[in-house]
Structure 1
């Protein structure tokens, strides 16, 4: 995972935690939207990593 993606993941995670603490629930719409966005970014990062590992290495 590249540095930019990692920073974005960490920023979103922080926003999610802060929103959940402010709303005092994980069920608030804003918290759920942040959680879904974070989930999508994690899946994309994992998919990209898998693809890069599956590519044949040039020797």
Structure 2
């Protein structure tokens, strides 16, 4: 496996961990075929994702 592929896998792992840590599983529902995406729903999911990313990166320090 090449270095670039390893980096992509690691980035995906960090992203999925942030989704779990922040409780942002609704993020994936936004991409469903007939998903109704509102500003409020999008902001709520992105806020949870931000929380998860903060937790993941603060835990790695």
TM-score by length of 2: 0.47
- Which structure has the higher relative contact order (CA within 8 Å, separation 6+)? 2
Query: Radius of gyration: which is bigger?
Result: 1
Structure with a larger share of its residues in helix: 1
TM-score by length of 1: 0.48
